[in-house]
Chain A
Amino acid sequence: MFKTILSYELKYWAKNTSVYFYGFILFSIALLSTAGNAGMFSETQSGEKSVVNSSFALFNLMLLANKLLLFIIPSIIGNSLYRDFKSNSHSLLYSYPITKQNYLYAKFISSLIPLILIEILFFVGCFAGTQLPGLNKSLVLPFDLSSYFQLFLLYFLPNALLFGILVFFIVSISRNIYTGFIAIVVALIIREIATRLTASAEISFMAMMVEPFGETATHYYTKDWSLTDRNNNPLPYSKFIILNRCFWLTIAATLTYLTHKIFTFSVNPFQLNYYKQPRGKKLVQRARQVIKVELPSVRISFSLLSNLYKSWKLSAIEFKSVTYTGAFSSIILAGAVFVYILLSQMNSPYGVKVLPVTWVMLAFPVLFFTLLINFITFLYAGFLVNRNKATNMFSMVDSTATPNWVLVFSKLIALIKIQILLLSIIMITGVIVQLSQKYYHFEILHYIFDLYGIHLIGFAIWAIVALLIHSLFTNTWLGLFILILVYFGPAELPLLGIEKYIYRFNQNPDAGFYLGYSDLSGHSHSIYAYFIYKFYWSLFALILFAGCMLLWQRGIALSLKERATIAYKRLNREIAIPTTIAITAFICTGYVINTNVERLHRPAIETEIKDITDYADKKYNEYEQMIQPRIVSVNVLMDIYPENQTFMSKGHYTLINKSQKNIDTIVIQTPFDVVTQISINQEARLITNDMKANIKIYKLETALQPKDSIIINFTVKSIPNSILYKNSLVEKNGTYITSLIYPTIGYHPNKTRKMPSDSAALNNHNRSADADYINFEATVSTSEYQTAVAPGYLQKKWKANGRNYFTFKSTTPVTIDFAFVSGIYEIKKEIYKNIPIEIYYHKKHEYNIPHMINGIKATLEYCEKYFSPYQHKQIRVIEFARTRGDFAQSFANTIPYSELGFIMAIDDKNETTINFSFLGASHEFAHQWWGMQAIPADVAGAKMITESMAEYVSLKVFEKQYGKIKSLQLLNKSLNTYLNKHKEAKETELPLILNTGNSQSHVAYQKGMLAFNALSHYIGEEALNRALKHYMQKVRFQKAPYTTSIEMIDFIRKETPDSLLYLIHDMFESVTYYDNKIENIETKAISNSMYEISINYSINKYEKKANTFTLLPLNDYIEIGIYKKDSPLPYDEKLVRVTKSKNQLKFHLDYNPYSIVIDPNCLLIDIKTSNNKEYF
């Protein structure tokens, strides 16, 4: 019997076109991806290249494809059972002499076979993709069957079995295939939840086990692989991967057992009797046989209004049919739990926990919910469209006079209601999370607007697409699969060169704009573009809706040809006219958007800027060396208009020829994102006016003598905003504009950073290339509700023309970089050591202010004690909208600080959290010394003087305030960040002393902090700070030539004993790592309270130079910490001098130790710290 069913089923699948379709799609995906990555279409990869068919690459591609395959599982494996239920043949079938076992196994195996064939087709696609002509041969390895075999055996097969059996189980008990789909979705959500709950810096055993695809377990082994490893290593058959597979296969076996146990050959399914029908009441047949039929009168109406009413009423029944099911409730439940966990663990982009403000609650779940909602829409659209057929109720429904559009529309409304319900989960869970974190500033309208005003539009458009596709393909599963392809397709269009958003269905520029919401300025400007594009695509959706009406199946199922004829017949005036209008409106809107996009000013994109700078670098290279007068004073008037988000600025530079030569040519460069006009107060001829590179070159009629001065006047305006683009930096509230909008003098190419050995380069400091120190005066005006701030001291403020005016002036010379901030602010003021500390903040953002003030106070204390006095009489921190960025920047006595820094979740009582508010304020304030008193030359390594020092100061200040345990956490976090970023960085890492490059911030920041801290630990904080103080005294406010990191290290070297000089080489002058490891530990009780401890450990130190590692000789001091149970700090520390790799240490203790750690104070940069710890 087993064989009979099996062969019958296999024949069924062999004739099923959808299986071939799925296979074809997976084959195509594999083929195109491998061929594409191997350079078939374009040379996309730069730098070191990844091979397309390495085990690792195939693994990643397979993971992606198998997520798609998950959604095929219900339509094949689930369908094999469901077919019998649906066709009612189960009642017949079950009366045959078939054993349950035979039936179930034959069904399952026969449906697993097509699935395996589809996967094999996918592998064939991968293989074929590497065999096509025109590939970059260096990206392709020779064919290796074993890696395919491994992927199949270790990943695909267990996963297919697990999820196949899960679906089989669910369908067998629910007798409903939709439940099978939902089971997959719920399983995926639960996987996400489990992954999140077990996530930690180190991958735990638990995390590896709970992840059902074996991805985490594999990641455990491959996470440290370099690109070379990824290209060449086979995937491991390692312990945890095998364990994970076994664990989940056990689960699969359990499900198999349960299926076998619960499944019965009865007509009525296994039921969970939550709501039983009330029983017992016998219906009394009325005896009366002949009755008079006089139907009460009813009014029947098919007017537009009543049809709309009908659509609404009918939708309620459709909605109920979807939502009043266990499957849907489980989606809601799983979704809510997921959102709750996601939001409770909310981290900002910097791994810092932020307060549960509304935009945060909204921003993060939406990404995930977009997938969920769309999938549910696609699935249930199929359910609703095919429901009449599936329940065989269609003939009664279709013979009523309700027009097609009412039927389609009622289903659309039902789908939208489902979407609204799902979106509400975000709001409800968001509010619950806010409540649970004691955050009581509820912005319900903000939730409503974002969820139902913004996101819903996009989902509703997809709902119409789903209705159309399902009306066209009456096979729900095929329709679903096609919808998933259609859904992910538009995102891939740019790969085919289709970049314009008017051709990319339901997409809009700046897709994640809602993530950029600011409490100060509200939604970003892209919201207008969003609504415009959504209007445009809604028109298209109307056309699709018309298509839906034409294709709507009414009556008996028909051939494609008949349906086409019917569709043509249905195209009557009532449909054709509105559709024509919609098509016309769609095309017109598209045309208007397109011409606006082409014509309007828009912010230049990165590649365009690069093209221009490349062009300018070639053309104006000679001007780089040309001597230019230096700016000595700046006087600007800045009018900020928050209402229409523009600004208008006027001002002048006073320049002096500080050189010994006459200057007759002045080069002025102006930024791209503003409109600038220039005039010079002397007779000058504009000899070059390069509109492309924004470079103007003037020839002075009379050359500028040494020490002579010249005045350059300028007006700078923002480029007018359009509805699609905001071109100015002005926000409605919380504007932040830096001096980068103003012209610069001379030509400063965008080349790589110069080396400290370049003596000419030392004449410029790193804050500007056209000035040393300047006198600064600015008058800023803004709207009557806002306050504006600029560096310097407030001289006067007044009101005129309904606007607020403020004049700021620096009393001591400052560097030329400055900034304007404007917003509606509350002010918190404290005075410490005669210095007023002022925080300008957005109302309700008072959460972090005490921490900021504490950070500033402690930093003031520390820096004045160890380095030099604070140079200003005041310090201000001003909040700006996060639309402008998630950072802070230090200017003379002024620190503009992103609002993200004002909403961090700080909990000093929690032992595992770090007060980043305190740290951030401290870091920025430390720049008033390191960067503004000690100003480095504009050469490589400058950031060691600015950023590394700011990090060092904030760490020290933090340690004093919060203690050793928390500062160790911070150091460990820095080490992890450094190691992770180091792994991903594209540029080659240079030593700290020469650090430079865009992707290398982790060197100046995290490694800088670790290096200075290690130094202060080994040579002593006092000694290091003494060296820094001497250095500061030498370079403070110095004139050109400016200082370098080399000079700073020379000061430090003087305070460093010879035996520790290796530290300076390792940490500052080279890129050096340790790879330390505890091999084993032994403990022997030699008396009641005396233990002999013996530790075998290895210390290895490598220097990395241009991707080669050299083992360095050792003469290093290493700390070994001995811990008691439950103590975060070592109870004992042993300092050992290590001269060889393998070492042993023996000592006696009068207590029983708990664990041993190499380098307990996180001083060394150890590439793998997890093996530095061993427990007794």
Chain B
Amino acid sequence: MALIISKLNKTYTNGVKALDNISLTLNNGMIGLLGPNGAGKSSLMRTIATLQKPDSGSIFFNEIDVLKNPMEVRSVLGYLPQDFGVYPKVSAEQLLDYFAILKGITSKSERGKIIQYVLEITNLYEARRKNVESFSGGMKQRFGIAQLLLNKPKLIIVDEPTAGLDPAERNRFLNVLREIGTDNTVIFSTHIVEDIKDLCQNICIMNKGNVLKYTTPQKAIQEIHGKLWARKIPRELLETEESEHQILSSKYNVDNSLTIKIYTENPPDDSWASVAPQLEDVYFISLKKDQNQKQ
């Protein structure tokens, strides 16, 4: 099973190039989509979810030509948009029933069973009679997952699902995703690098409509192993350091000093200590590289 995206382009009417000749091949498992705002993550996901048409390019999911036969892919698709609303005054149970019908489950008893199941695994069973409209952010996201699961999807697209979740909810949410991701293709976009590190087999870093990096988290970290140096400086020196080095990231310490990181083969001097790379660093390095190239 694989999702093959080739030469996908999309320019919006306001001139923004959302997808710039994107080609990707995604295999089974979870793929983490990482990128700043406006990177084209949502555009890419909406395009795969058949909600918008690209200007050119093609997408195949297994044998299905997604752009030509959207209906076929929709029947195996589970999509959780970044930001969604629901009909007012409809309970979770009723709304899930609505989605179950939309997803083609005609048997009432089957709908009943699967709705109960997804309510349980998303821990919404006790809230099933409450109006979804009145749910908290986390409950609403879990409802989103619940509706996504109804048709036992093979291609799952979740757009920044963990935003606004508390740690416990987030943890739980990721576990569910992980469970279903083992046999299926899950595309998962996020701002939070931590989400990806433990879960995703693959990571894809995007910016301004381009794929900057597509690899496994382990490989990515491996690549920069030993090339990452850090140093503690007082706050006042940041400007001078910035002019001298390409600073990858800077973080405040408790004592108001800063720890700055740079990416280079050899450290400029001994004041820099080697640090173990994090996935976050991969992300920053990719973005920096991209910036430099553009300049």
Contact = CB atoms under 8 A, between A and B. Distances in A.
B4 interface: no
A403 interface: yes
B101 A314 contact: yes
Contacts of A293: 121, 149, 176, 179-180
Given A284-B126, A292-B179, A314-B98, A399 B74 contact: yes
Interface in A289-326: 289-293, 295-302, 306, 309-310, 313-314, 317, 321, 324
A300 B46 contact: no
Interface stretch (B31-39, B82-90, B228-236, B280-288): B82-90
Contact of A300 (B127, B151, B168): B151
Interface stretch (A388-396, A617-625, A666-674): A388-396
A281 interface: yes
Contacts of B100: 298
Contacts of B79: 395-396, 399
A307 to B, nearest CB: 9
B175 A291 contact: yes
B152 A298 contact: yes
Contact of B49 (A284, A313, A395): A395
A393 B84 contact: yes
A295 B117 contact: yes
Contacts of A292: 179
A299 B103 CA distance: 10
B254 interface: no
A299 B110 contact: yes
A201 interface: no
* Centre residue among A295, A297, A298, A392 by max chain B CB count within 10 A: A298
A393 B75 contact: no
B53 A403 contact: no
Contacts of B117: 295-296
Nearest to B81: A395
A775 B53 CA distance: 90
B27 interface: no
Nearest to A554: B51
A145 interface: no
Interface in B91-125: 94, 98-107, 110-111, 113-114, 117-118, 121, 123
A292 B171 CA distance: 14
Contact of A310 (B106, B131, B171): B106
Interface string A584-627: 00000000000000000000000000000000000000000000
Given A292-B179, A296-B117, A301-B106, A317 B74 contact: no
A401 B75 contact: yes
A403 B50 CA distance: 13
B175 A401 contact: no
Contacts of B107: 298-299
A285 B168 contact: yes
Nearest to A561: B13
B90 A317 contact: yes
A402 B51 contact: no
B88 to A, nearest CB: 7
Contacts of B147: 396
Nearest to B100: A298
Given A283-B127, A296-B117, A559-B13, A400 B51 contact: no
B260 interface: no
Contacts of A324: 89
B51 A399 contact: yes
A277 B131 contact: yes
B176 to A, nearest CB: 6
B71 interface: yes
A301 B99 CA distance: 14
A399 B88 CA distance: 20
A399 B90 contact: no
A317 B46 contact: no
A398 interface: yes
A850 interface: no
A974 B53 CA distance: 75
A400 B74 contact: yes
Contacts of B51: 395, 398-399, 554-556
Contacts of B118: 295
A310 B50 CA distance: 21
A305 to B, nearest CB: 8
B104 A289 contact: no
B130 interface: yes
A393 B86 contact: yes
A309 B106 contact: yes
* Centre residue among A392, A399, A554 by max chain B CB count within 10 A: A399
A295 B175 contact: no
Given A283-B126, A314-B98, A317-B98, A296 B113 contact: yes
B171 to A, nearest CB: 6
Contacts of B94: 317
Nearest to B182: A293
B52 interface: yes
A909 interface: no
B172 interface: yes
B134 interface: yes
B176 A296 contact: no
Given A300-B151, A392-B85, A556 B106 contact: no
A746 B90 CA distance: 80
A296 B176 CA distance: 15
B59 interface: no
Nearest to B169: A285
A556 B52 contact: yes
B102 A397 contact: yes
Contact of B53 (A297, A391, A396, A566): A566
B77 interface: yes
A708 B5 CA distance: 109
A854 B235 CA distance: 114
Contact of A289 (B77, B130, B172): B172
Contacts of A393: 84-87
Nearest to B112: A296
Contacts of B127: 283
Interface in B140-184: 144, 147, 149-152, 168, 171-172, 175-176, 179-180
Given A289-B172, A393-B84, A401-B75, A300 B50 contact: no
Nearest to A565: B53
Interface in A536-586: 554-556, 559, 562, 566
A289 B179 CA distance: 12
Contact of B103 (A278, A296, A395, A400): A400
Contact of B105 (A278, A300, A314): A300
B176 A291 contact: yes
Contacts of B104: 300-302, 306, 310, 400-402
Nearest to A281: B126
B112 to A, nearest CB: 10
A387 interface: yes
B247 to A, nearest CB: 35
Contacts of A438: none
* Centre residue among B102, B113, B152, B180 by max chain A CB count within 10 A: B102
Contacts of A295: 114, 117-118, 149, 152
Contacts of B123: 285-286
A403 B150 CA distance: 17
Contacts of B81: 395-396
Nearest to B174: A289
Interface of B: 13, 46, 49-53, 71-72, 74-75, 77, 79-81, 83-90, 94, 98-107, 110-111, 113-114, 117-118, 121, 123, 126-127, 129-131, 134, 144, 147, 149-152, 168, 171-172, 175-176, 179-180
- Please provide the 7 A-B residue pairs with the shortest distance between their CB atoms, ordered closest to farther: A392-B85, A401-B75, A555-B51, A401-B74, A293-B179, A300-B104, A395-B81
Given A396-B84, A399-B51, 9 more contacts: A296-B114, A298-B113, A314-B98, A321-B87, A396-B80, A396-B99, A400-B99, A400-B151, A556-B52
10 contacts: A284-B126, A291-B179, A297-B152, A300-B151, A309-B106, A310-B104, A317-B90, A321-B90, A401-B74, A554-B51
